[in-house]
Chains A and B, each alone.
Chain A
Amino acid sequence: MTHSICKTALLGGLVVLVCAGLAAGSEVMVVANSSVKASHVDPSSLRDIFLGEKFSLPEGSKVTPVLLKNGPIHRAFLAAYIGKSEAGFQAGWRNMVFTGRGSLLKTFDSEEALLDYVAKTPGAIGYASNTGGRANVKAISVK
């Protein structure tokens, strides 16, 4: 009886963890202009691109990262793929700016504005909760 309860609890816990993982993963989606050939990107390359260390995807497409100014999608993206807090991420870019190694990325107040920019800018890559139905915006999976 006890053994059965333990198994059920473990199974239940596993289901909760999987659901939580799926939910967390579905919060934020990497999006890019349809000129970007890749359909997926590895987490390390994605991190390098948003930290200003790389300018192209492994398959060769040159990309220009863009950001949301703040908000839950911005924080979810940083937590899931960059591993930095909002302030830590901003400090890293300020470091680049004040040592001359980089310029600040273009930022947008809303997902709509970011998606509009991605739709009309070849090579643009960003993130949102969905593609917003824009014709020139595609989702990029991270794996």
Chain B
Amino acid sequence: MRLYGLALLFLVPGIALGLDVGDLDLQIHGTVAQGGLLSSHNNYLTAKTSDGSTQWTEAALNAATSVSDNLRIGLQLHTYRLGELGKLKLDVDWAYGDYRIREWFGIRAGKVKTPLGLCNDTQDIDTLHLWALLPQGVYPADNRSWTLAHTGGDVYSKVRLPGRLGKLSYQGYFGSRTADSDGGYFKAAAEAGFSVADGAFGRLYGGDVRWHTPLRGLTTGSSVGMADASGHLSIVNEPFPLTLKSTSDTNTAMYAEFEQGKFYAAGEYRRRIWNLAIPEMRLQAVAQDTRAWYLMAAYRIHPKVNLGAYCSRYRYAALKAFGNPSEPARLYSNDWVTAIRIDPNPYLYFKFEAHYIDGTAGGFYVSTNPTGFDRLTRLVVARIGFTF
């Protein structure tokens, strides 16, 4: 299934497709992005970035149609490779039916992108963002499969508030999710001596509420997601089959964004409390409380050129784990970023980004940095993307 994901995209005839199949107006869209990363000393996100790496490819292809005035169905396939992660396996990114019972109220069922903060549901679609790398403390590129989507049902609504108080939208969900065994969590677990062969599976529920304020372009909101999970575990020198069980996993986000004409600004705060246990050994394997935030701003200096900068911070407020890092720099990371995106035409874009990272808490793996870590990392990222 690995390279087939990319190959499939090029089997689709034409570009900017809108097909009439009988009475159905079927739209097909896709995107492909290729990235390059070059860093000082530390290797980042499992790629050999200190030598310069182009092991960062991502593609998505979707088809959707409105079956009736109320019913819409669609599907998106997605594949990625980032360093040692992803391996270009083909995944269903989303596939669902969306039925609008009223104009202000509807339900979705299937595999649906999970709302969590501002960008969770779009973090794997590069073409939608100015940034080549979103703030990694909040949207880690190596670990996103765990929060990206759920299989289950959603209810959503958007209502106008009385007077001139703006609008309120909300989305509630319940379902299950699977963590990719080729993702970062299991690579980190393997480095600590745990092997989770088939990934992990669990239920989750949560919601997102957004207030579209009377000030045009200003939106603020909050999300919460609660989950459990379990997976089959093996440990070096331990002959018995074991279970890795998440006893609690709560993600909360608070955010605001403002967009007016050429100007965009956003900020988000995220907290995650996560506990993992091995019941057969009566052992708490991981207990962590992480906090992260970012502030970003962008200005479109030309219709085809967008400039921006952000700063983000990620830190462990509490951490108990096997293989606990002893260096203080492994417990936090601060990232200062400047970025430019150029869209010569609607089908092609380029991104260039410079990062100055202090700390090695997220995205820096022991196995890809065998000689140890520098506290500081300078990173340059370039990306080219095609979309239709």
Q: Are A98 and B25 in contact (CB under 8 A)?
A: no
Q: Which residues of B contact A101 (CB under 8 A)?
A: 98
Q: Are A56 and B103 in contact (CB under 8 A)?
A: yes
Q: Which residues of B contact A83 (CB under 8 A)?
A: 216-217, 259-261
Q: Which residues of A contact B304 (CB under 8 A)?
A: 87
Q: How far is the CA of A85 from the CA of B346 in the complex (A)?
A: 14
Q: Are B264 and A88 in contact (CB under 8 A)?
A: yes
B134–chain A nearest beta-carbon distance, Å? 14
Q: Are A85 and B60 in contact (CB under 8 A)?
A: no
A118–chain B nearest beta-carbon distance, Å? 17
Instruction: Tell me what chain B mostly uses at the interface: helix, strand, loop, or mixed.
Output: strand
Q: Which of B18, B31, B72 contacts A98 (CB 8 A)?
A: B31
Q: Are A98 and B27 in contact (CB under 8 A)?
A: no
B24–chain A nearest beta-carbon distance, Å? 11
- Interchain Cβ contacts within 8 Å, total number: 73
Within residues 43 to 65 of chain B, which ones have a CB less than 8 A from any CB in chain A? 60, 62, 64-65
CB within 8 Å for A94 and B387 given contacts A83-B217, A85-B262, A88-B264: yes
Q: Are B300 and A87 in contact (CB under 8 A)?
A: yes
The count of chain A contact residues (Cβ–Cβ below 8 Å) is 24
Q: Are A98 and B343 in contact (CB under 8 A)?
A: no
Q: Which residues of B contact A103 (CB under 8 A)?
A: 25, 27, 64-66
Within residues 93 to 118 of chain A, which ones have a CB less than 8 A from any CB in chain B? 94-95, 97-101, 103-104
CB within 8 Å for A98 and B74 given contacts A85-B261, A103-B64: no
Q: How far is the CA of A54 from the CA of B157 in the complex (A)?
A: 12
Q: Is A20 an interface residue (CB 8 A)?
A: no
The count of chain B contact residues (Cβ–Cβ below 8 Å) is 40
Interface string of A124-135 (1 = CB under 8 A from B): 000000000000
Q: How far is the CA of A84 from the CA of B62 in the complex (A)?
A: 26
Q: Which residues of A contact B262 (CB under 8 A)?
A: 85, 88
Q: Are B29 and A84 in contact (CB under 8 A)?
A: no
Q: Is A37 an interface residue (CB 8 A)?
A: no
Q: Is A90 an interface residue (CB 8 A)?
A: yes
Q: Which of B27, B216, B300 contacts A104 (CB 8 A)?
A: B27
B218–chain A nearest beta-carbon distance, Å? 11
Q: How far is the CA of A84 from the CA of B94 in the complex (A)?
A: 28
Q: Which of A86, A98, A100 contacts B128 (CB 8 A)?
A: A98
Q: Are A54 and B122 in contact (CB under 8 A)?
A: no
Q: Are A97 and B300 in contact (CB under 8 A)?
A: no
With CB as the reference atom, state the residue of chain B lying closest to A103: B27
Q: Is B195 an interface residue (CB 8 A)?
A: no
Q: Is A18 an interface residue (CB 8 A)?
A: no
| Given A55-B69, A104-B27, 16 extra CB contacts under 8 A | A54-B103, A83-B216, A83-B259, A83-B260, A85-B303, A87-B306, A88-B262, A88-B264, A88-B300, A97-B62, A98-B31, A98-B76, A100-B64, A100-B72, A103-B27, A103-B65
Instruction: List the 7 shortest-distance A-B pairs measured between CB atoms, nearest first.
Output: A98-B125, A103-B27, A100-B74, A83-B216, A85-B262, A100-B94, A97-B29
Using a CB–CB cutoff of 8 Å, the interface residues on chain A facing chain B are 44, 53-56, 62, 79, 83-88, 90-91, 94-95, 97-101, 103-104
